[in-house]
Amino acid sequence: MTSLPFTLRWGILATGGIATTFTKDLLIDPETRSAGDIRHVIAAAASSTSASRARDFLSSVNAPSSSKAYGSYKELVQDKDVDIVYVATPHSHHYQHTRLALEAGKHVLVEKPITVNAQQCAKLRQLAQEKNKFLMEAVWTRFFPLSREICNLIQNGSLGNIVRVYADFSFWNDVPTEFDTQHRMINPELAGGALLDLGIYSLTWVFMALYHTQQQQEPATAVKKREEPVVSSAVTKYETTGVDQTTTVLLHFPSTGAHGVASTSIQVATTPNPAHASPDAIRIQGTLGDLTVNYAPRPRTYTLIPAGNEKRGQPAPFAYQVVTKHEDIPGGGHGMFWEADECARCIRDGKLESGVCGLEETEVVMRVMDQVRRQGGVVYPEGIESLEFPLGGFGL
Ligand SMILES: NC(=O)c1ccc[n+]([C@@H]2O[C@H](COP(=O)([O-])OP(=O)(O)OC[C@H]3O[C@@H](n4cnc5c(N)ncnc54)[C@H](OP(=O)(O)O)[C@@H]3O)[C@@H](O)[C@H]2O)c1
């Protein structure tokens, strides 16, 4: 006898660009990606502006007519038909809006970066535990089957010891000039800057290769803490607003000696011209060979390059190959449904955190970004760095 799929009922908090992409992905039949054990329902959406804007949003994504439209975030989090809230406001607002949803007793998936700083992240983590609710940062990249496969290759030693990782995510296509100071990516009031918006993907790849995959002891023994990196960085800021436009972070893991270089910019691009794709936005270098990945946030192809290791006497356990997975994302989607499926399965199984994108690692990444901002002198307004809740000016 086959059991019924587990149904997760979503409330979409905000109606901007990524909320649209994510919600469209939620509406794709999970069977198209062999995920028949779960089902997603759009229970409601809310706009801080008006209920009619939320209604227009729901129509634009072809949500079912049963989905409710709210003109405030407060109403959304009170809805008894909502199990999980997807927070898709600018990062400056993530702490306030995630807290709003957790305080109301909802599970939360919150867009990246989870918060503006590590102490806000720690507070949300503590609150989610107290409330017995699931909480995850929406780093969708980690849930691509290709990313899972790469982590397995690293963990099972196929690449040997990982010595160095380069990861870049830079683009300027959608970013206006430095004088367009109200734009979300440049405006300090919205926690703008390359690091928090794009650099988090570069850091994600360094973390997947050098932190996530660190061997932990069996749960039966005391859990070994993973080693945090030593951080140094260079930051170039916009003169107009003081947020970072180009940032490079060097992460050093002392016990293995591994180096990670995570770079980001909104002045130049990883792929400056679509006619000339970069096959190696990410380069993971092990003693048995290299693995390169084509595109940081939405990886579709990786290449294995065995080292010519005759002198070391250790041949790589793989031949040169280009591995393409999901060139066409299943169901015509964007690839955000894999993280949504993880939320559904964790909640179904009573887990408060994901093993793929857990809050301990999220908090360490936030601590790295805090250090980089301190080193580069990127300062945001007090209100958006605050732990205080609720604060005025956040549509609460
Ligand atoms: N995972 C990804 O690939 C990805 C891609 C892009 C962005 N993101 C993340 O998603 C978040 C939102 O980005 P986005 O590109 O969707 O931004 P966006 O298009 O500007 O949308 C943000 C939405 O937040 C709401 N909002 C509430 N208060 C706001 C304020 N003071 N200023 C601006 N908007 C406000 C608005 O919706 P209402 O008026 O309806 O309330 C607005 O439509 C960011 O944290 C970003 O890092 C993730």
CA proximity to 377, closest of 206, 204, 234, 249: 234
pLDDT at 229: 98
372 occurs within a structural domain: no
- Count of the separate structural domains present in the chain: 2
Amino acid 178: pLDDT: 73
**Percent of the chain clearing pLDDT 90 (strictly above):** 86
Instruction: For 211-245, write each residue's pLDDT tens digit.
Output: 999 976 555 555 668 999 999 999 999 999 999 99
Per-residue pLDDT, 169: 97
- How large is the average pLDDT for residues 129-154? 98
Q: Would residue 198 count as lying in a domain?
A: yes
Q: What is the mean pLDDT of residues 370-384?
A: 97
- Pocket lining for ligand 1, CB < 6 angstroms: 14-19, 47-49, 53, 88-91, 93, 111-112, 138, 140, 184, 190, 197, 297, 395
Classify residue 395 by its DSSP letter. Answer: -
Distance (Å, whole) CA 335 – CA 140? 8
Claim to verify: residue 216 and residue 110 sit in the same structural domain = no
Q: What is the pLDDT of residue 134?
A: 98
Encode pLDDT of 294-306 as tens digits: 999 999 999 999 9
Q: 44 with 170, same domain? A: no
Q: Which percentage of the chain shows pLDDT scores above 70?
A: 96
Closest Cα to residue 364, out of 226, 271, 269, 254?
226
**396 within domain boundaries:** no
Mean pLDDT over residues 74-79, rounded?
98
Q: What pLDDT was estimated at residue 222?
A: 56
Ligand 1: centre distance to CA 372 (Å): 24
Residues 135 and 152 in one domain: no
Atom of ligand 1 nearest to the CA of 94: 45
Answer yes or no: is 367 within a domain: no
Beta bridge partners of 137: 110
Residues 164 and 235 in one domain: yes
Residue 240 and residue 165 share a domain: yes
Residue (of 275, 286, 290) closest to 322 by Cα position: 290
Q: In what order do the strands lie in the sheet with 258-265?
A: 230-237, 244-253, 258-265, 162-170, 282-286, 289-293, 301-306, 321-324
Which amino acid residue places its CA nearest to atom 24 of ligand 1?
Answer: 89
pLDDT on residue 273 = 85
CB proximity list for 277: less than 8 A, separation 6 or greater: 271, 294
Residue 272: the pLDDT is 87
- Residue span of the structural domain in which 57 resides: 6-139+343-358+377-385
104 lies in the same domain as 156: no
Average pLDDT, the chain: 94
Query: Any idea what the CATH number is for the domain that residue 285 is in?
Result: 3.30.360.10
Residues 83 and 151 in one domain: no
